[in-house]
Amino acid sequence: MEMRKIQTYNTSIGNVVIYKVIPSEKDEFVEFYLAFLDNADYGEEPWGVGLIPKVALERAADEWDSVTDEWGNIPDDLINPFREVLEKYY
């Protein structure tokens, strides 16, 4: 398996990075894409997966929207960097 960084988008809270995961001949899965957020607070962590980059971003945006504080509320100032990329580039 190989993972290639194919695109980086600068957002207001860090970089959104798209990786393409390419199976080797012995792997039993198809290629897919991962959407990561890379910033000082979170480091680099995956948020979404899809068969095309846009779907990975959409799933990451939905996952980000599901983040809540310790009381179950979505903070008002929580900027969704994946939606920012979708609105600007897709």
d(CA 48, CA 26): 25
Residue numbers of the domain that contains 46: 2-89
Task: List, for residues 11-47, the tens digit of each pLDDT value.
Answer: 988 999 999 999 998 988 999 999 999 987 778 889 9
Tokens standing for residue 46: 């995956």
| Strand-by-strand arrangement of the 32-39 sheet | 2-11, 14-22, 32-39, 43-50
What's the whole-model pTM score? 0.87
